[in-house]
Amino acid sequence: MWDIVIRGAVDGALFALIASGLNLQYGVTKILNVAHGEFLMLGAFITSVLFRYYGINPLVSLAISGCLVLVVGVLVYMLVFRRIIKQSRAPEELEVRSLLACFGLMLVISYTLSAIVRTDPKLKISTTDFLREPITILGVTIELNKIVALFVAIAFSVVLYVLLRFTKIGLAMRAAAQEPTGAQLVGINLTKSHLISFSLSAFLGAVSGSLLSMVFYTMSPLSGAQYTFIALTVIVIGGAGSFIGSLVGGFIMGYIYYYVLTMPKGILLSMPVVYAFLIVMLLVRPKGLFGR
């Protein structure tokens, strides 16, 4: 039981952080970025390269990968999605066009990373050699890097909550998400709010990827979609636009995911269970636990 409680909390904290970034970006811009998992893989890849080739501490390169992917997010929004938002005449048109663009972005990033990794057979998207010393908590032996990843993920989630709840930037983004027209009437720049939310989402995705590279032994450049679907499931559980929902949904999904992994052939069943849970939630409670 304690093994599931502790290790499930690690997965839950990481899933919550991944979902919080996607939930923030979708809530403000109404763009369903199915390439969110690819931003995550970019962060994991950068952290892995810096660790394996230059010996840079993953906790230090975490900030580096986050800032680099944040710049990528800014460029992607300015070059692609700002124009799509301006050209879309109705919300439905925006959702369809942006979704197609995100699918294209997903394929570009994932296959580019795959081509780079294949050029060097020794390169693995993993930094699990860092802080691999085992420690014992409540009778459960667990690697130190997993505990570090747990607390770092929680710390970033807390910082995000403070940013959204107690700063003017956070207030502007929440206003843009809840009532775009009213936000414009009181002087809020929607384009700026969209840019900040999209780039911040990319930053959180990269940070999540860096932490995941510390926890999982191997990560494929093509596995970004897996984490996008996990994030979508978390959002459906908690409710779109709800930060608290992302946290609660992340931990619920983390415990379910790890419990399935402990079962026979659980590694093959983990993602089908995620998809099945997503379908059930959409049928039973489509607004989520904390959705309005």
C-alpha count within 13 angstroms, C-beta hemisphere, residue 203? 16
What is the b/e burial string over 81-93, where b = at least 16 CB atoms within 10 angstroms of the residue's CB? bbebbeebeeeee
**Phi/psi at 137 (nearest 5 deg)?**
-130, 120
Task: Extract the tokens encoding 54.
Answer: 């230059």
Q: Which amino acid is at 111?
A: Y
- Domain residue limits, the chain: 2-222
**Residues composing the chain:** 292
Report the sign of the C-alpha dihedral through residues 17, 48, 102, 227, in that order: negative
pLDDT tens digits, the chain, 292 residues: what are they? 788 888 889 999 999 999 999 999 998 988 889 999 999 999 999 999 999 888 899 999 999 999 999 999 999 999 999 999 888 888 788 888 999 999 999 999 999 998 888 877 667 787 778 888 888 888 888 889 999 999 999 999 999 999 999 999 999 999 988 888 898 888 889 999 999 999 999 999 999 999 998 887 667 888 888 899 999 999 999 988 888 889 999 999 999 988 888 888 778 888 888 888 889 888 988 888 887 6
Q: Where are the alpha helices (DSSP H) in 167-265?
A: 168-178, 180-185, 190-215, 224-238, 243-261
Alpha carbon distance 212, 283 (integer Å): 30
Do β-strands 134-137 and 140-143 pair in parallel, antiparallel, or remain unpaired? antiparallel
